[in-house]
Amino acid sequence: MTCKHFVTVKSVVCISVLCFFLNKSFVSSFVLKKIEPFRLDIIHYNDFHDRFEETSVDYPLCSTNDSRCLGGFARLYHEVMALKRTRPDALLLNAGDSFQGTYWYTLLKWNMTQHFINMLPNDAHALGNHEFDDHVSGLVPYISALRAPVLAANMDASREPRLQGLAQAHTVLERGGRSVGVIGLITTETAYSSSPDGVVFLDPVNTTKFYAEKLNREGIDIIILLSHCGLIVDKKIAKEAGEHIDVIVGGHSHSLLWSGTPPSPELAQGPYPVVVSPDSAPGHKVVIVQASAYSKYLGNLTVFFDDEGEVQHFEGTPVFLNRSIPEDPSIKALMQPYSDKLHSIVGEVVGYSPHDLSSASCDSGECAVGNLVADSYLDAAKSKNISNLPHVAFITKSNLRGSVSKGDITRGDLITTLPFSNQIVTLALKGKYLVQAFEKSFLHMWSEDPFASPSLTQVSGVQLTLSVKQLKAVKVLVREGDEFVPLDPEREYQLTVTDFVAKGGHYSMISEYGRDARSIGLDREMLENYVKKITPNMPTLENRLTIIP
């Protein structure tokens, strides 16, 4: 553009200035650059549960050596490191419950777990409820050995000096010139689902709100919640306290989130990710992810933020860790001596089953492996000749951790099914309190329709009908001789359960009203003896437990 000259000095000055700013060469030198969004890559896993060896969808340890085998630590490690090579700034977050679930933990405990978990380039760990399964004394050396921060903002350990200074509420990680706050949570269910001694667990919603506001005041505008509270609670947190939370990386509920049809025969609990808008900030987005459990999937999320820390968009999908993903050979070599030692202990055949004893339906109805375990408790109690009362036994789904496949049954199969090393207790209890105990099946339901609950009781000596709509036991028949007769509310029955149930918690009616309680042995020894006794006549589904809407 050329400038034209006019008569007055004022006109000349004004138009000259205007022409200057419109000059092409000047404008081209001051073109505003588009501000690129900040990219944050997040790799995440949860509920590993000591799946060091390959697992499968149906069984904790895969014995078929075919395409049904997946996961395992060597494969998880390979994929984490492969993703980190392409995205070195990616966060690696562990949402808790690394402990418990196979004989690797039952026999080798915390030290084995930390040894391998520390080989991953973790940035932070949440604590899971099962990290307390061997009490505080079993947790302290594990946390002390972990190299990345352990986060548990809603854990009050003031009455447990051994835990002082080992866990923190949050941490701040630096990535690409931005500060990313990470707050940790543990489920309040830990108080009654594990053995936390004097540790107290605070409300996760209020805790999240407090620490998110604190970090926000400190200028942290990207905040991740690393939560071992379960998908339902995570959604509640996002809705009620998510104003400053951007991403929730979850665990505990073993929820597979997948957009579309999952590659494994599991039901997706929602898309990946789930997006929630908080009540207090409807325009804000909270992105929620979880990656199933047991090393079957590895979470893989990328979130893009604007300058103010608001989520602009996201991408990614979990990696299905089937046999198309190789196992890391160096990790396999490191694991081999431990594997050889364990297999020499757990490989002994102790029985045979002509059919599968699956745990897949133990949270939604009667299951054959639940019948087997409950029968073993009842049989052991009867053998003690403690009383002439009618015998009843039950075990909850949360204590059943494995299935028994058709064929030879090994000691390892039984340890994997009952990994917690519970003492079994038998006691006298009136029928009305027994009914109340059965109705605890509705506690902490994962779903009402279809019904699923980790508290569902698998029974022996009883035919039980539960109504989801009424949240009641609408029919209870107890075996007396060769017949099943209606339960008498005022009559005593000989109840056999784990020591954890007998001591109370949500089963306070048992500890309060039960009498003459005595320990009769270790659960898995009881189960092994019973399997040897009845082989090959394993239980099937026998209409012991009926769930009606």
Nearest residue to 183 via CA among 132, 234, 236, 223? 223
Rounded to 5 degrees, what are φ and ψ at 167? -130, 155
> What whole-number distance in Å separates Cα of residue 473 and Cα of residue 425?
23
Rounded to 5 degrees, what are φ and ψ at 335? -80, -20
> What whole-number distance in Å separates Cα of residue 12 and Cα of residue 10?
5
Please provide the distance, in angstroms rounded to a whole number, between the alpha carbons at the two ends of the chain. 80
Amino acid at 444: H
pLDDT number for residue 34: 59
Nearest residue to 542 via CA among 418, 444, 481, 459? 459
Block residue for tokens 């103010």: 308
Residue 148 half-sphere exposure, CB side, CA atoms within 13 Å? 25
> What whole-number distance in Å separates Cα of residue 214 and Cα of residue 149?
19
Number of H helices, E strands in the chain: 15, 28
Q: What are 38's two structure tokens?
A: 């900040």
Going from the C-alpha of 408 to that of each of 289, 498, 524, 527, the distances in angstroms are 39, 27, 17, 15
Q: Which residues contact 59 (CB under 8 A, 6 or more apart)?
A: 402, 403, 405
The full set of domains in the chain, from first to last, is: 38-337 (3.60.21.10), 348-548 (3.90.780.10)
- Determine contact, residues 253/230, Cβ cutoff 8 Å: yes
What length is written for the chain? 549
Question: Over its length of 549 residues, how does the chain's per-residue pLDDT go in tens digits?
Answer: 333 333 344 443 343 443 444 444 444 444 445 579 999 999 999 999 999 999 999 888 898 899 999 999 999 999 999 999 999 999 999 999 999 999 999 999 999 999 999 999 999 999 999 999 999 999 999 999 999 999 999 999 999 999 999 999 999 999 999 999 999 999 999 998 899 999 999 999 999 999 999 999 999 999 999 999 999 999 999 999 999 999 999 999 999 999 999 999 999 999 999 999 999 999 999 999 999 999 999 999 999 999 999 999 999 999 999 999 999 999 999 999 999 999 999 999 999 999 999 998 999 999 999 999 999 999 999 999 999 999 999 999 989 988 999 999 999 999 999 998 899 999 999 999 999 999 999 987 877 878 989 899 999 999 999 999 999 999 999 999 999 999 999 999 999 999 989 988 689 999 999 999 999 999 999 999 999 999 999 999 999 999 999
Three-class SS state of 15: helix
Q: What are 45's two structure tokens?
A: 């896993």
- Determine contact, residues 451/444, Cβ cutoff 8 Å: no
Beta bridge partners of 408: 352
Three-class SS state of 305: strand
Peptide bond connecting 262 to the previous residue in cis, omega within 30 degrees of 0: no
Return the H-helix or E-strand segment holding 52: none
Is residue 158 exposed (0-12), middle (13-18) or buried (19+ Cβ within 10 Å)?
Answer: exposed
pLDDT number for residue 227: 99
Q: What are 444's two structure tokens?
A: 């902490």
pLDDT number for residue 214: 98
User: How big is the chain by its Cα radius of gyration, in Å?
Assistant: 28
pLDDT number for residue 59: 85
- Write a three-state SS string for 322-386: CCCCCCCHHHHHHHHHHHHHHHHHHCCEEEEECCCECCCCCCCCCCHHHHHHHHHHHHHHHHCCC
Helix, strand, coil % over all residues of the chain, rounded to 5? 30, 25, 40
Nearest residue to 199 via CA among 188, 209, 210? 188
Beta bridge partners of 288: 248, 274
Beta bridge partners of 125: 94, 150
Q: Which residues contact 62 (CB under 8 A, 6 or more apart)?
A: 53, 54, 55, 56, 68, 69, 70
Q: Angle CA(177)–CA(180)–CA(184) in degrees, nearest 5?
A: 160
- Determine contact, residues 386/426, Cβ cutoff 8 Å: yes
Going from the C-alpha of 445 to that of each of 271, 373, 435, 475, 536, the distances in angstroms are 21, 22, 18, 20, 35
pLDDT number for residue 472: 96
pLDDT number for residue 63: 84
Three-class SS state of 412: helix
- Determine contact, residues 417/369, Cβ cutoff 8 Å: yes
Block residue for tokens 């009926």: 546
Contacts 24+ apart (CB under 8 A), 396-399: 396/441, 396/454, 396/455, 396/456, 396/457, 396/458, 396/501, 397/359, 397/362, 397/363, 397/370, 397/453, 397/454, 397/455, 397/456, 397/458, 398/193, 398/454, 398/455, 399/498, 399/500
